[in-house]
Amino acid sequence: MITRAIDGKIRITLPLTDEDISELHAGDSVLITGSIITGRDAAHKRLYELINGGKELPVNIKDEVIYYVGPAPAKPGHAVGPAGPTSSYRMDKYSPALLDLGLKAMIGKGARTQPVIDAIVRNGAVYFAAIGGAAALISRSIRSSEILAYEDLGTEAVYRFEIEDFPAVVAVDSMGRDVYKTGAEKYRKV
């Protein structure tokens, strides 16, 4: 569910529906609340190998939001330690296959390749950018953390996070509009 506040903030309560995603536009600032999963390159590689092998995944990807993060160990009283976004390009090889399985959204940092953008459009998904360098701030939005798969990967395991008011920006919307391109064009000299 999406609510738009008077101050312009867009609040998203997960799970995301197709209608919710269609209302989001590249450049929108959002606060996300709900349940997400995590994964970085090592976990993505394993998931991709299972997909290519026709095997069942250890987590159901359909309708999920995945955050590219390897959280630091939690201090007493916290769900996780600093939990800043990982560079998304490291997952670009694997992302189209996950989107084709029904992944609704990804959260990371940095631009995506054209095959990922094409898969976002093809599947009516969305890519959110989180703020790099704000790992401690972002961790305050994470209320709980549970390992779902690949515990042997340590911080790169697949976790389930419960988040509240997680700050992000719509970086690539379901129409393929990309703030990493449109933002740069605004400031390009003619």
Q: What is the pLDDT of residue 20?
A: 97
pLDDT digits (tens), the chain, 190 positions: 888 877 778 999 999 999 999 999 999 999 999 999 999 999 999 999 999 999 999 999 999 999 999 888 888 888 998 899 999 999 999 999 999 999 999 999 999 999 999 999 999 999 999 988 788 888 989 999 999 999 999 989 999 999 999 999 999 999 999 999 887 666 665 5
CB 128 within 8 Å of CB 66: no
> Which one, of 129, 125, 138, lies nearest residue 164 by Cα?
138
Residue 26 phi, psi (nearest 5): -50, 130
Q: How far apart are CA 31 and CA 120, in angstroms?
A: 20
Half-sphere exposure of 151 (CA within 13 A, CB side): 4
Say which CATH class 2-187 falls into: alpha beta
Task: Report the relative pairing of strands 65-67 and 105-108 from DSSP bridges.
Answer: parallel
What is the residue extent of each domain of the chain?
Answer: 2-187
Q: Where are the alpha helices (DSSP H) in 30-156?
A: 41-52, 95-100, 114-123, 135-139
Q: How far apart are CA 27 and CA 183, in angstroms?
A: 8
Peptide bond into 15 cis (omega under 30): yes
Counts of helices then strands in the chain (DSSP H, E): 6, 8
Q: How far apart are CA 113 and CA 172, in angstroms?
A: 11
CB 123 within 8 Å of CB 102: yes
Q: What is the pLDDT of residue 137?
A: 84
Q: What is the pLDDT of residue 187?
A: 66
Q: What is the pLDDT of residue 126?
A: 98
C-beta atoms surrounding 47 within 10 Å: 24
Q: What is the pLDDT of residue 156?
A: 93
Q: What is the pLDDT of residue 59?
A: 97
